Amino acid sequence: MSLVSRSLAVAVAVAALGLASFATQSQTLRVGLGEDPDVLDPTLARTFVGRIVFASLCDKLFDIDEKLAIVPQLATGYEWSADSKSLTIKLRNDVVFHDGEKLDAAAVKFNIERHKTMAGSNRSGELRPVASVDVVDPTTVKLNLSAPFTPLLAALADRAGMMVSPKAAKAEGVNFGAKPVCSGPFKFVERVAQDRIVLERHAAYWNKANVHFDKVVFTPIVDATVRLANLRSGQFDVIERVLPSDIEGLKKDKNLKVARITEIGYQGITINVGKSEQAQKNPLGKDAKVREAFELALDRAGIVQVVMDNEATVGNQWVAPNNAFYAKNVPVPKRDIARAKALLKEAGVPNPTFTLVTPTTSDAQRLGLVIQAMTREAGFNVKIQSTEFATSLNMADKGDFEAYVLAWSGRADPDGNLYSFDACKQPLNYAGYCVPEVDELLNASRSQRDPGERKKTFEQIASRVLKDRPIIYLYHRNWLWVHTAKLTGLRSIPDGLMRVTGLKMAAP
Amino acid sequence: MIEFLVKRIATILPTLAFVSMLIFGLQQLLPGDPAVILAGEERDPNVVAYLREKLHLDDALPVRYGYWIGGVLQGDLGESVRTQQPVLDLIVQKLPVTIQLAVMAMMIALLIGIPAGIASAVGRGTAWDVGANAFALWGLSTPNFWLGILMILLFSVQLGWLPASGYVSPFENLRENLAAMIMPAFVLGNAIAAVLMRHTRSAMLQVLNADYVRTARAKGLSERVVVLKHSLRNALTPIITLGALEFGTLLSGAVLTEQVFTIPGFGKLIVDSVFNRDYAVVQGVVLVTATAYIALNLLADIAYFAANPKLRA
């Protein structure tokens, strides 16, 4: 073999190796997260970012689609009893956990009971109405409820519906979250805290034809600018929670694509109307007229433009205006400074002063400043107190605030955005709002299965709660994912979580 | 020297005991209920109550300290409430990364700072001196965060030479490891080099004017021997002290640099843990860092003996 042909052979081999390594690399999906997830046990998990990882790791009984409809995942269907006090779920019979164990009705019973009884479970509240679980046959399970509870299906489309391997859960006990074993499209490989979570393809996945990657690697990068720089340099294929201010610049980049969907949560201002004595010491907490004047002084479209670079939908309720349960009888109020001034005059406080607590994030601080400037025109004197999140939460818990900028990531069922915040003595009712008639309506909505009937109840709730204004809802942010243009199949689901099934990387 | 060492080591134990109390006590001053923040978005009252009990939050401060220090003395630093990983495992994961970053940054700082300081002192008033001072001013006044992002934009996004993030263990792939570490090491080393340069320059200027240096020159010794053997050695004592302090600071984690380059070291761990009120992790990491800091100071003391014969007497 001559020197030339030998060199050619070497060059071809090197090129082949290079291509092979490229092919291997292209089968790994690299995801940039906004923070490091908490424990990877669906029963104990608490954070939004953890749910992004779970979407690849742990399948649920149900899922939600682009229109927020409940669709089967591990289940094939469900049926409510006539009195709405039991839910019968039919299961797929081709599901195996990552450890090879089969998912059946007994495994579902084990999981629901684990969610309900495990010490420190964050799911016990969501499943409180479930009194017992019956295994009807290997593919049928019946959940018996103490009282009708329509939001149960939505809970089963989130972490409460995630199924883990009973064998692994029993073996690992409280340490299960360090090596989670579920039945999702990818199985757990390793986790290095603050560095990476590595998952690899579950060969026996029931929907494996729709899985086009061998591995998924999640890397947390807190700073959004750095996260984006990593995407641009090719370190990531897709990143979450991009800054709205970066979107304009991304439009010019042909190598990247933006995916957006309106969140199911909201950004709002919680007002202390009865949490502590402080509520009666400031005009905003004491008088509903002052709260109405405050809301009328706000220009929501202007806020969305300045604070969110238009990457949000203006709203005035716990669900966005495009939600099927949005109460159309209470539309978004227009800014009306004259009316706001008149209301303040009626209330006898033409220049009310109060302190607005905001988190230290840049968008929350911007929001505080815009609100301060806008409401000044009506006569308000808003003082801004920028406070670190854990501290501000503690203040809210104790009722040591007058108004508080607080966002909620949202739940698929409106009940998840409403009950805990507005029903008497609920854990997230920082406003201290408590009206027995509202409680009655809220409880009624939980037992109604007919969407039309429920919608009417929500309209009744809206007409009362939005008049009392324990929370002034401002807007619903867009979930902003940015990915390489080669990545296709990214679905825009309103919960803001990326589904890996169906994602595909185009050939280079 | 042995007597000195015994005395120094004897002071370490009470110092560590005091440090452990300080770490524990100061952390309790942080506002906010850790159980509430750890209970996540839902803040289920049952979960909050469970966490309060698990973390002994309803016990008196000395009792809680007793639980913690009792575990520490048995080699159990507790577990992260957020991720449920044992704190010792987290430290074992992060410590090699932090040490590597600190060593690389220190090497860069020494390789730049000391020669620049010597050149600046020897060539006082020349272009070398002006150049070295300009470099020092740049190093001291450039924020790490900004320099890091600029380097990523240049070397990763524009030129594509180096990865923007993605730490790889040196045992897995040394080349990729060095590629991932060189930028953060330079960012950190750059700032320390500036400080070292300034100190080396002033120490050398003092020594170069000393009588024994004049004598050495009068004896006809070459300039290289006068500068490197007679002057630098005597000027080293304050530089060693400074180097040890800077190295100790590096070991406690370079928060911003680690955030920018996604280096999974102590800095990121400790900041995330403070914000999440993950007390066990903060206490464990700070205790290990404090121990390392004290050990480094001891090593610096030993290095004085090696560098300065006068101390051996």
Cβ contact, residue pair B83, A193, below 8 Å: yes
State the pLDDT at residue A469. 96
What's the mean pLDDT when you consider all of chain B? Answer: 84
Considering only residues 7 to 26 of chain A, which have any Cβ-Cβ distance to chain B shorter than 8 Å? Answer: none
Q: Is B53 on the interface with A (CB under 8 A)?
A: no
State the pLDDT at residue B252. 67
Measured CA to CA, the distance from residue A349 to residue B93 in angstroms comes to 59
Q: Which of A36, A53, A175, A195 to mutate to test the interface with B (most CBs of B within 10 A)?
A: A195
Q: What is the pLDDT of residues B80-93, one digit of tens each?
A: 888 888 899 888 88
Q: Please count the other Cβ atoms lying within 10 Å of the Cβ belonging to residue B53.
A: 14
Q: Which residues of A touch B152 (CB under 8 A)?
A: 226, 229-230, 233
Q: Is B147 on the interface with A (CB under 8 A)?
A: no
The residue that leads in pLDDT, A194 or A259, is A259
CA angle centred on A122, ends A116 and A126, rounded to 5°: 65
Cβ contact, residue pair A38, B32, below 8 Å: no
The arithmetic mean of pLDDT across residues B224-250, rounded, is 80
Amino acid letter, residue B138: W
Q: For chain A, what is the total number of helices (H) and then of strands (E)?
A: 17, 20
Q: Is A232 on the interface with B (CB under 8 A)?
A: yes
Q: Which residues of A touch B262 (CB under 8 A)?
A: 195, 219-221, 226, 230
Measured CA to CA, the distance from residue B181 to residue A371 in angstroms comes to 44
Q: Is A47 on the interface with B (CB under 8 A)?
A: yes
**Assigned token pair, A365:** 């601080």
Q: Is B302 on the interface with A (CB under 8 A)?
A: no
Q: Is B52 on the interface with A (CB under 8 A)?
A: no
Question: H or E stretch including A5?
Answer: helix A3-26
Helices marked H in chain B:
2-28, 34-38, 45-54, 61-73, 87-122, 127-141, 144-151, 174-208, 211-218, 223-225, 232-251, 255-261, 266-275, 279-307
The arithmetic mean of pLDDT across residues A121-142, rounded, is 94
Name the region of A55 (left: φ>0; alpha: ψ -120 to 50; beta: rest): alpha
Out of A9-23, A86-100, A335-349, A490-504, which region has the weakest mean confidence (pLDDT)?
A: A9-23
Considering only residues 420 to 439 of chain A, which have any Cβ-Cβ distance to chain B shorter than 8 Å? Answer: 420, 427-428
Alpha carbon dihedral A201, A207, A211, A216, in 10-degree steps, equals -40
Q: Which of B28, B42, B276 to mutate to test the interface with A (most CBs of A within 10 A)?
A: B42
Taking alpha carbons only, the member of A240, A172, A167, A185 closest to residue A54 is A185
Q: Kindly identify which residue of chain A lies nearest to residue B277, measuring between CA atoms.
A: A390
Q: Is B146 on the interface with A (CB under 8 A)?
A: no
pLDDT score of A440 more than 90:
yes
Out of A336-345, A443-452, B10-19, B172-181, which region has the weakest mean confidence (pLDDT)?
A: B10-19
Q: What is the pLDDT of residues A205-228, one digit of tens each?
A: 999 999 999 999 999 988 888 899
Q: Which residues of B touch A35 (CB under 8 A)?
A: 272
Q: What is the pLDDT of residues B43-58, one digit of tens each?
A: 888 888 888 888 888 8
* Residues in a beta bridge with A313: A476
State the pLDDT at residue A109. 97
pLDDT score of A11 more than 80:
no
Contacts of A141 (CB under 8 A, 6+ apart): A88, A89, A91, A105, A108, A109, A133, A134, A135
The arithmetic mean of pLDDT across residues B140-155, rounded, is 87
Q: Which residues of B touch A428 (CB under 8 A)?
A: 42-43
State the pLDDT at residue B137. 83
Q: What is the pLDDT of residues B245-298, one digit of tens each?
A: 888 778 766 777 888 888 888 888 888 888 778 888 988 988 888 888 888 788
Cβ contact, residue pair B51, A41, below 8 Å: no
- Please report, in angstroms and rounded to a whole number, the separation of the first and last CA atoms in chain A: 34
Q: Which residues of B touch A38 (CB under 8 A)?
A: 40, 82-83
Q: What is the pLDDT of residues A376-397, one digit of tens each?
A: 999 999 999 998 887 888 889 8
| pTM, full prediction | 0.83
State the pLDDT at residue A6. 52
Contacts of A418 (CB under 8 A, 6+ apart): A318, A442, A461
Q: Kindly identify which residue of chain B lies nearest to residue A406, measuring between CA atoms.
A: B41
pLDDT score of B229 more than 80:
no
Q: What is the pLDDT of residues A241-294, one digit of tens each?
A: 999 989 988 988 999 999 999 999 999 999 999 999 999 988 999 999 999 999
State the pLDDT at residue A508. 66
Q: What is the pLDDT of residues B161-216, one digit of tens each?
A: 988 887 888 888 899 899 999 999 999 998 888 888 888 888 888 888 888 878 88
Q: Please count the other Cβ atoms lying within 10 Å of the Cβ belonging to residue B311.
A: 13
Q: Are A162 and A497 in contact (CB under 8 A)?
A: no
Q: Is A388 on the interface with B (CB under 8 A)?
A: yes
Q: What is the pLDDT of residues A295-315, one digit of tens each?
A: 999 999 999 999 999 999 999
The partner residue sitting opposite A47, judged by closest CB among B40, B47, B164, is: B40
The partner residue sitting opposite A120, judged by closest CB among B36, B51, B82, is: B51
Q: Which residues of A touch B163 (CB under 8 A)?
A: 233, 235
Q: Are B31 and A394 in contact (CB under 8 A)?
A: yes
Cβ contact, residue pair B54, A120, below 8 Å: yes
Split at pLDDT 50, 70, 90, the class of A3 is: very low
Q: Is A39 on the interface with B (CB under 8 A)?
A: yes
Out of A21-25, A444-448, B37-41, B98-102, which region has the weakest mean confidence (pLDDT)?
A: A21-25
Judging by DSSP bridges, how do beta strands A266-271 and A403-408 pair with one another? antiparallel
Q: Which residues of B touch A45 (CB under 8 A)?
A: 40
The partner residue sitting opposite A177, judged by closest CB among B41, B50, B84, is: B84
Q: Kindly identify which residue of chain A lies nearest to residue B93, measuring between CA atoms.
A: A192
Q: Is A36 on the interface with B (CB under 8 A)?
A: yes
The partner residue sitting opposite A195, judged by closest CB among B33, B164, B264, is: B264
Cβ contact, residue pair A223, B31, below 8 Å: no
Considering only residues 486 to 505 of chain A, which have any Cβ-Cβ distance to chain B shorter than 8 Å? Answer: none
Q: Is A65 on the interface with B (CB under 8 A)?
A: no
Split at pLDDT 50, 70, 90, the class of B232 is: confident
State the pLDDT at residue B47. 86
pLDDT score of A23 more than 50:
no
Question: H or E stretch including A344?
Answer: helix A337-347
Considering only residues 436 to 475 of chain A, which have any Cβ-Cβ distance to chain B shorter than 8 Å? Answer: none
State the pLDDT at residue A1. 43
Q: Kindly identify which residue of chain A lies nearest to residue B162, measuring between CA atoms.
A: A233
Q: Which residues of A touch B54 (CB under 8 A)?
A: 120
The arithmetic mean of pLDDT across residues A467-495, rounded, is 94
Taking alpha carbons only, the member of A94, A152, A150, A147 closest to residue A123 is A152
The partner residue sitting opposite B84, judged by closest CB among A35, A175, A226, is: A175
Q: Is B223 on the interface with A (CB under 8 A)?
A: no
Measured CA to CA, the distance from residue A393 to residue B279 in angstroms comes to 17
Alpha carbon dihedral A500, A120, A46, A405, in 10-degree steps, equals 160
Split at pLDDT 50, 70, 90, the class of A316 is: very high
Q: Is B152 on the interface with A (CB under 8 A)?
A: yes
